[in-house]
Structure 1
Amino acid sequence: MILETITALGAWSWVIGGLILLSLEILAPGTVFLWFGVAALITGGIALGFDTGWQINVGLFLVLSLVSLVVGRKLMRNLASERGDPGLNQRGSRYIGREFRLEAPLSQGAGRLSIDDTIWRITGPDLPAGTKVRVESIDGARLVVAAAE
């Protein structure tokens, strides 16, 4: 019954199959079904334009699937490296190298530093209030600071 329906639809079965694969991508994201769906849609478009046999369509689909999967993965990898915030889950790493002024003294190697809307715990040498400090690194949830020149 399914085979008869596919045969009756002809080239449109590739288009419908491509749309089903694209719908699966929405339900199960991971950019795998996307590339197979694109390959099926292209195969359907070629099959609608030219009178090709099912063997050629299957071969074309396999080749287009492989090409679109490889090119798509490479494209997604390049886009992922260009976007995003590498310090998203380590907010303190955003402050490394920046300089701030101490509002309260840094004594016994510990203190607090107000940055934007957050008060950070800091470690470093004993310094009086008003000293300009540079964030050198992060140690867990603490910023490690040193006097800025």
Structure 2
Amino acid sequence: LFISELDSCSSLFKTARMLFEMTLMQFDAHQFNQASTFLGPFCFSIFIILVVFICMSMFIAIINDNFRRAKENVRHNNNQDIISFMIKKFQYWTGMKKVTEEEIIEERNIQMRSEYYDPIESFPDKIDQLLNALNQVCSISFYIIYTCLILLIHL
């Protein structure tokens, strides 16, 4: 559409570079306005809506889903660990199994590790906060683009 008007659309490589810059939101949209008063903003808005908001939201949702699955797996493994811990303690209590030196050292190591803060445990919560902030930004940006399109149509 804009091959003759825009230098950034003159070749396939330049067009791909321009679209990548648009995806990163580092593109000057005034060039489209100067090339065509209606088609420029319309094509720019459609591209931003499709790529930036829909595809990026889908990408972030996939990542978030995988983090939640990993978090559920960790919780499930903890339940199995609790059961094996209870069985082992029962065996020690009844005298069916004797405590070895390695188990004593391992118990001390576990107690030492439990005293330290693990930032990985708060990572899923931080991801949820990030996604909420991105959803708010996307909603505001969509509203701004929508009002700009309405203003452009009325001009």
TM-score range, shorter chain: 0.3 to 0.5
Give the alignment's TM-score, normalised by structure 1. 0.35
Of Structure 1 and Structure 2, the greater helix share is in 2
By relative contact order (CA 8 Å, sep 6+), the higher-ranking structure is: 2
